[in-house]
Structure 1
């Protein structure tokens, strides 16, 4: 952030796309205009308001703090910016941008992975949300060696900044394809996520990091995330001095979740589990999901089946057993070319609301159509105390 003092104005220069003007008292000359311009923002209005709020809280001219605060609020002439009483989250399913998706991006979008997220229905939902979560089905790296599994995924490193640009906040790195190109590719992927300021959960540089919840704080509310794989590979399990993922059969499963839940207001636990291409969850999924809720989770997000599965309310917590595919190249059937986009509102009073959208991929593997209608997408449906399909 550069502060450039001019003869008649002070400019907080953070970009070129949106400008907001207001006045700030500076010395003997009285009110001087300030221009805020914002660059590379997914929600410019919200970010500008955040800057104004920061100024009001942190500019100090001397004197009594309370009087100073009131004086600045009066002189700046910006109304109080009230924090929302809720945090909005969007959960998507499996993202795998290798194989057929990579070919489509090369052919149709000049190797620009951001085009996969460009359709308006999707981008509107992602960019208005405070937190966006998905499962990264494989590594994004140019390192490692192909272990020659039946299906072996390694995405172009250019995928990572594209995910960031699309509004992805956090990714699960616990799944059966995360080790397809070995541990070096996995470590490189974690590094690239950190460089692009994308949180990850379900794995880490060692077992301590893998067991530590990723915590995102919004509007004074702490949202925590843990991830587990129930479908291996066991060779990629994190250890004391070894990078890897967190497995659902960890003997400290309950303890890990309990410890995480104590650190946050809401805990989200994601699982890579279940049977592929089944639309109903199995007994193992239910066991793990209920066990996680009993240990302190409020939201359970499932992936791996590649199709949408049923949802459940258990002890006032919401369970989505499988969101299906977010972006994947399984074009051989209609169910694998769609997925659930789960919109969640976590309220400060401890309640939550959810809304289930269905996304459909086009032939280029872009999520293009979102069933529910534009107006319904922002009207969250209250959670009822019964299971829904």
Structure 2
């Protein structure tokens, strides 16, 4: 990868009655990259966290208009991505584990209606109802014509990237899980379906290298880390370095259920934890969230921004916030970044 110059914009989208926007923090921020010109087109990527349709979020599938706040944050991006942390099935056999998530058919169609363009299912709930449930999940995605990464009928398909070509820029997207729970039973192999498990480091690194050969920008969406810990684990930091060295330009993740830090790892932009997004459980400690927006210019990551958001305690659907609410969430983000080992995108 080539050396790059970067700029950070803190962006707050307001809801309904125009709440005051958070103040942009420009301390120690490099000079802005020149605006897009003909022959120098911009591509915008948007990422958010864990999604499923159960408990308080189940009603979304009967009224997808409830996802309008999500669409306002995501739909204008050229590529928008989330993690669907559930089996989409009415069948299968439940695994012996504490938390089981099942969403009815239509989950991918609902996400598509909200402007989501690609979904990772590489997580510790995709096989909650076994490989039958996984097959049903992938079938629901196919019905909705939604690209899915991170799982497949074999390791080759699970580790494969989805390639977008947007105004001449090629974006490769991969999904992987590093969560240890049931990883050996659930991993995709040469002969069996399953999840792309990043604990198979050789295969994970090779998948990123192959994507880098095919694309200008490589995105890896990971399920990793320790739940409720705002600082990334040693495993996360080690894997982030390995994937960045292999050619990943953007590395984003979920699983901690709280916001983890984001910033630069040499030439790669890393967001260790996006927290929950469309979420079943009303837990004030995990309702803070955000959307990460990446601007790509001339085949390079040029800038990054976050949209602070909060998950509605009744509906489980996030909405963008401004004013004091945004300032508070940006403070959470800043403190998390301080222990991330990343180069901060701007001064606190």
TM-score (normalised: structure 1): 0.70
Q: Please report the RMSD computed on the Cα atoms of aligned residues, expressed in angstroms.
A: 2.1
Residues 140-219 of structure 1 correspond to what in structure 2 (within 5 A)?
140-219=88-167
User: 1:305 matched to which residue of 2?
Assistant: 256
**Structure 1 residues 236 and 270, CA gap change in structure 2 (3 angstroms):** same
- In structure 1, stretches of 5+ residues that fail to align are 1-81, 374-384
**Structure 1 residues 364 and 349, CA gap change in structure 2 (3 angstroms):** closer
Cα distance in 2 for partners of 1:87, 1:320 equals 19
Cα distance in 2 for partners of 1:163, 1:252 equals 29
**Structure 1 residues 372 and 207, CA gap change in structure 2 (3 angstroms):** farther
User: 2:57 matched to which residue of 1?
Assistant: 101
1:92-117, Cα deviation, whole Å (9 max, x unpaired): 00002113322xx1xxx6x5251331
1:177-222, Cα deviation, whole Å (9 max, x unpaired): 1111110110111121122121111111111111211111111111
- Is 1:316 the counterpart of 2:267? The answer is yes
- In structure 2, stretches of 5+ residues that fail to align are 1-37, 325-341
**Structure 1 residues 157 and 349, CA gap change in structure 2 (3 angstroms):** closer
User: 1:281 matched to which residue of 2?
Assistant: 232
Q: Secondary structure at the match of 2:244?
A: helix
User: 2:187 matched to which residue of 1?
Assistant: 237
Q: Secondary structure at the match of 2:99?
A: coil
Residues 30-179 of structure 1 correspond to what in structure 2 (within 5 A)?
85-102=41-58, 105=59, 112-119=62-69, 122-179=70-127
The alpha carbon displacement at 1:176 in A equals 0.6
**Structure 1 residues 127 and 253, CA gap change in structure 2 (3 angstroms):** closer
The alpha carbon displacement at 1:372 in A equals 7.1
Cα distance in 2 for partners of 1:371, 1:140 equals 34
Residues 142, 156 of structure 1: 8 Å contact kept: yes
Cα distance in 2 for partners of 1:115, 1:132 equals 18
Cα distance in 1 for partners of 2:133, 2:86 equals 9
TM-score (normalised: structure 2): 0.78
1:263-322, Cα deviation, whole Å (9 max, x unpaired): 111000111100111111121111111110001000000100011111121112100000
User: 1:4 matched to which residue of 2?
Assistant: none
Q: Secondary structure at the match of 1:387?
A: coil
The alpha carbon displacement at 1:137 in A equals 0.4
Cα distance in 1 for partners of 2:79, 2:323 equals 21
- Is 1:366 the counterpart of 2:328? The answer is no
Runs (4 or more) in structure 1 with deviation over 6 Å come to none
User: Whose RCO is larger (CA < 8 A, sep 6+)?
Assistant: 2
